[in-house]
Amino acid sequence: MTQPRGYSGPEEALAAIAQDVAGAGPAADAARAWQHEVEALTGTGTAEAGRVRAEVDVQGMLTGLVVGDVVASRGGRVVTAAVRTALRQAQESVREKAARSAEAAWGPGSATAEAFRAEVEAATPLVEALPSETDGRTIPGSGPQSPRQGGTW
* SS3 of residue 122 by DSSP: helix
For the chain, percent of residues with pLDDT exceeding 90 = 54
Confidence of residue 22 (pLDDT cuts 50, 70, 90): confident
Residue 54 confidence (pLDDT) above 90: yes
Distance (Å, rounded) from C-alpha 116 to C-alpha 149?
32
Mean pLDDT value across residues 71-86: 95
Distance (Å, rounded) from C-alpha 26 to C-alpha 136?
57
Task: Please tell me the predicted confidence (pLDDT) of residue 3.
Answer: 46
Residue 103 CB contacts under 8 Å (≥ 6 apart), including other chains: 109, 110, 113
Task: Please tell me the predicted confidence (pLDDT) of residue 94.
Answer: 96
| Residue closest to 146 by CA, chosen among 43, 35, 138, 32 | 138
Confidence of residue 149 (pLDDT cuts 50, 70, 90): low
Residue 109 confidence (pLDDT) above 80: yes
Confidence of residue 43 (pLDDT cuts 50, 70, 90): very high
| Residue closest to 124 by CA, chosen among 84, 90, 97 | 90
Task: Please tell me the predicted confidence (pLDDT) of residue 75.
Answer: 94
Distance (Å, rounded) from C-alpha 46 to C-alpha 42?
14
Residue 88 CB contacts under 8 Å (≥ 6 apart), including other chains: 45, 126, 127, 128, 129
Q: Identify the residue with better confidence: 21 or 59.
A: 59
Which of 29-33, 41-45, 82-86 is the least confident region?
Answer: 29-33
Confidence of residue 141 (pLDDT cuts 50, 70, 90): very low
Question: CA neighbours within 13 Å on the CB side: how many for 63?
Answer: 17
Mean pLDDT value across residues 46-69: 96
Residue type, 115: A
Backbone angles phi, psi at 112, to 5 degrees: -65, -45
Mean pLDDT value across residues 51-67: 96
Residue 92 confidence (pLDDT) above 50: yes
